[in-house]
Amino acid sequence: MRKKIAGLIAGLLATLVTAVPSAAQTYPTRTVRIIVPYQAGQGTDVMARYFAERLSKALGQTFYIDNKPGAGGNIGTEAGARATPDGYSLTMGTNGTHSMNQYLYASTGFDPEKDFAPVILIGMLPMVIAANPSFAPSSVAELIATAKAKPDKIDVALPSTTARMVFELLKTRSGAPLFGIPYKGSATALTEVTGGQVQTLVDTVAAARGQIAAGKLKPLGITTLKPSALLPGVKTVAEQGLPDFEVTGWMALYAPKGTPASAIETLNAEIARILAEPETRTRMLQLGVEPAGGTSQHLAQFEQRERAKWGPLIKAAGIKGD
């Protein structure tokens, strides 16, 4: 009898032991929303849709995109911060929403550190200064010279917070009297620049690359410190008379603070696996995004360094969000 009881206990323990990882692996059990705080078609949106599709296939539940643009990304990001912390509402944040906006706006409606749990750094997004092909200048150096010769005659479309930072730094460093026009997203800005209503724009390579490849936009300069394979042959802004000029966007996945660690771990592990695939790397580079990755702790530390970098610069320049 004792042997029989011992056998039953052993079997029960074995069942419990195997049940623990099984329970941890049940996430997700239903549809997951990913809030993108920008318009559809913008660089962050494009990548969010790619990963939503990959996660849907890998985890067996639908991941869908919910675009909530406005206020430099603050509207959608605040919605993400206020979402139920159960792993079923995520936010695709950026350097704008999670490192710059708190210094640009009197109130964003959220605290990027206190209201969010970092999941994983997805990728880096170099910015490009580009123009309608009919625009005479063919480089940033020529753009600056033309602007100085004709003050406030050159309009620059600015579809994001990062684009605004590039614009403000360009004006400050070069002294070029350019006129910035804010947009709520890339789609309208690209349409108006390719259509000739506005001469130039600043946007991510991811958003502008298709129009550049089609000959509807000409790149004047890229904002990485060194030339990038994403736009071969295009000189950096730093090479064109503004040494050390560098502004690189980034995107990362976040969950509301308080989201179960098991859900964050599952998402981090799966996205890290996807990022490591050659197919993903090729696809991301084609879209103008340099793959990133790392742990959730790595993202938290990276985000802190970014805030330390941009906060003083924004305050010193007196830049305000629109």
CA 155 from centre of chain: 25
Question: What's the fold here for domain 24-124+248-317?
Answer: D-Maltodextrin-Binding Protein; domain 2 (3.40.190)
Tell me how far apart the alpha carbons of residues 84 and 79 are, in angstroms, rounded to a whole number. Answer: 10
- Please report, for the chain, how many H helices and E strands are present, in that order: 12, 10
Tell me how far apart the alpha carbons of residues 106 and 180 are, in angstroms, rounded to a whole number. Answer: 21
For helices 43-59 and 205-213, what crossing angle results, to 10°?
A: 100
Task: Specify the residue for token string 């206190």.
Answer: 114
pTM of the model: 0.76
Per-residue pLDDT for the chain (322 aa), expressed as one digit of tens each? 444 544 544 444 444 344 333 334 589 999 999 999 998 987 789 899 999 999 999 999 999 999 999 888 999 999 999 999 999 999 999 999 999 999 999 999 999 999 999 999 999 889 999 999 999 999 999 999 999 998 878 999 998 878 888 998 899 899 999 999 999 788 899 999 999 999 999 998 988 988 999 999 999 999 998 898 889 999 999 999 999 998 988 999 999 999 999 999 999 999 999 999 999 999 998 888 889 999 999 999 999 999 988 898 788 778 787 6
Under DSSP, is residue 58 helix (H, G, I), strand (E, B) or coil?
helix
Provide the token pair at 231. 């736009």
- The pLDDT assigned to 23 comes to 34
| Count of residues making up the chain | 322
Q: Cα–Cα distances in Å, from 231 out to 127, 203, 212, 219, 264? A: 10, 13, 9, 9, 34
- The pLDDT assigned to 69 comes to 93
- The pLDDT assigned to 322 comes to 67
Sign of the CA dihedral running 258, 262, 265, 266: negative
Q: Does the 126-240 domain belong in CATH 3.40.190.10?
A: yes
Domain boundaries, the chain: 24-124+248-317, 126-240
- The pLDDT assigned to 15 comes to 43
Task: Specify the residue for token string 């639908």.
Answer: 62
Which residue, among 71, 84, 73, 72, has the nearest Cα to 33 in the 3D structure? 84
Domains 24-124+248-317 and 126-240 share a fold: yes
